[in-house]
Structure 1
């Protein structure tokens, strides 16, 4: 009788151990970073809106814990976005100091991803490439 009780206790202990391991695989609950994620996909395309534009260029931008991704000026782009409190619209130069032709050939820029753990989706259409280039800062300067 005593050996049966020991066997039951061992089996119960093993089952509890297996359940605990399968519910919590090694490292699954450990945070990978102390920072909320900040990672975006940025695009520039020819067209009137994101749904219909032909994407010409796209880059990734990661700002936390360090600047990175395929963006050619990741550190400057992250600094612009941080200064704008994660709002891409606030990174744009609304008063361009450049004269542009009055030709309508729309260019759309987008930013989609996560900023400090919050979902971010931004789209802006400019009348033409000259207007876009005169208003964007390093965030969309790729």
Structure 2
């Protein structure tokens, strides 16, 4: 009798439903551009790529940038300034972001007084711009 019970348990375990595989996390891939707003043709000063989940790309601090974007669900207009000091030198830059945040299209365009202000007002997401 114990052999029959073991046989039945073995059959039941083999035919038990397996959980459905989890869908992959929605894709995040962004391109961040920094342009010189003082020139008529708006030349590109720097560009980086950013991937999240897991963090990667050419952004020098992808983990930080992804964490800040997660706080605002990818809405760059809602990023909180860092509050650091910046010079009053007026050298305006244009920042552009396009791509996808967790599968949703992203387009962002803003002009800042200089690179430091761009970094500060983007919660450090545009931190790569300070070295360009």
Same fold (TM over 0.5): yes
Instruction: Provide Cα deviations, 1:51-92, integer angstroms capped at 9, x if missing partner.
Output: 94211111111113x111111111111110011111012224
2:69 is paired with a residue whose SS is helix
Residue 35 (str. 1) matches residue 25 (str. 2): yes
Q: Secondary structure at the match of 2:127?
A: coil
> Once superposed, what is the RMSD of the aligned Cα atoms?
2.4
Residue pair 2:100, 2:106 contacting (<8 A) in 1 also:
yes
Q: Find the counterpart in structure 1 of residue 4 from structure 2.
A: none
How does 1:36-115 map onto structure 2 within 5 Å? Answer: 36-47=26-37, 52-64=41-53, 66-93=54-81, 96-98=83-85, 100-101=87-88, 103-115=89-101
For residues 38 and 91 of structure 1, the distance between their equivalents in structure 2, rounded to whole angstroms, comes to 17
Unaligned runs of 5+ in 2: 1-22
Runs of 5+ consecutive residues of structure 1 not aligned to the other structure: 1-32
Task: Please list the CA deviations of residues 92-113 of structure 1 after superposition, one character each: whole Å capped at 9, or x if unmatched.
Answer: 41x8442532x43211111100
User: TM-score, normalization: structure 2?
Assistant: 0.69
Counterparts of 1:99 and 1:67, CA distance in 2: 28
Q: TM-score, normalised by structure 1?
A: 0.64
Would you say the 8 A contact 1:73–1:138 is kept in 2?
Answer: no
Higher Cα Rg, which structure: 1
